Amino acid sequence: MSHRENRVYSDQEAVANAFASFMKEVVNSSDHSVSIALSGGSTPKVLFGLLANNYKDDMDWVKIQFFWGDERCVPTSHEESNYRMTREYLLDHIFVPQRNIHRIHGEENPDNEALRYGRHIQTTVANRDGYPQFDLIILGMGDDGHTASIFPDQMELLSSDDVCRVATHPESGQKRITLTGKVINNAKNVAFLVTGENKKDMVKMILGNHPEASGYPASHIRPVGNLFWYLDESAAGDFRP
């Protein structure tokens, strides 16, 4: 049975704390390895710092297979690389075998890399109904309603049959590689980490089930497994679970 829950905390740090303890439960209670797709963005940055500081010896790190839900098409040395951010804030500070780290090669040709990463995921992550099934996918949401790198002007990435696709940031034109909606919605657990006042109108529209919400990618994330929204009070605005 899938479970839906919206959780509101005082601030970004409290969101990161609460999610870290949920993640620990998912990882430490599993009797097999756990596939997790990470996200870029500001809240994950805080989360990764907190995990590195407070969960170094407290999480079964070697059990985790690390993937990414999306990546910017830049080299790993670039300040916008999601992999670089994760390495700096988390991976450099914990013990994880290199073979557990499955990064998106942002430095490669985007079309080729979307295919390669999609195939890699198909062969390494457990399968349900022909699609990979991650144990946990961490997502953010932009104030334009995008999630992972599925933007409102590329809604077709939600229903694509591919595992990964190339996306284009609507303003900067930056190429990105993203998991598609079908893969995200096949996960056992999906957790949105959403903080900041600029998100409150979108949160209200999506979690309040307004009809216009259907124009925004984040509203289409309704996985077969559990769905959690971790919000801080600023992002929740006057929305209360």
Binding ligand 6PG (rule: CB under 6 A), the pick from 147, 154, 180, 219 is 147
Region near ligand 6PG per CB under 6 A, out of 14-22, 35-43, 91-99, 182-190: 35-43
Contact by Cβ (8 Å): 223, 186: yes
- Token reading at 130: 């022909």
Q: What three-state secondary structure class fits 224?
A: coil
Binding ligand 6PG (rule: CB under 6 A), the pick from 2, 10, 28, 42 is 42
Map the footprint of ligand 6PG across residues 52-91, applying CB under 6 A.
Answer: 70, 82
The 3 state secondary structure assigned to 145-205 is CCECCECHHHCHHHHCCCCEEEEECCCCCCEEEEECHHHHCCCCEEEEEECCHHHHHHHHH
For the CB of residue 39, give the shortest distance to ligand 6PG in the complex, in Å: 4
Smaller CB distance to ligand 6PG: residue 18 or 33?
A: 18
Question: Does residue 142 touch ligand 6PG according to CB under 6 A?
Answer: yes
Least Cα distance to 184 among 216, 159, 151, 211 occurs for: 159
- Half-sphere exposure for 27 (CA within 13 Å, toward CB): 19
Question: Does residue 223 touch ligand 6PG according to CB under 6 A?
Answer: no
Question: Does residue 172 touch ligand 6PG according to CB under 6 A?
Answer: no
Region near ligand 6PG per CB under 6 A, out of 9-17, 90-98, 117-125, 139-147: 139-147
Least Cα distance to 120 among 135, 137, 103 occurs for: 103
Amino acid at 191: A
d(CA 29, CA 147): 28
Per-residue contact flags (x/-) with ligand 6PG for residues 95 to 134, judged by CB under 6 A: ----------------------------------------
Cβ-closest residue to ligand 6PG? 140
Query: Would you tell me which residues interact with ligand 6PG (CB under 6 A)?
Result: 39-43, 70, 82, 140-142, 146-148
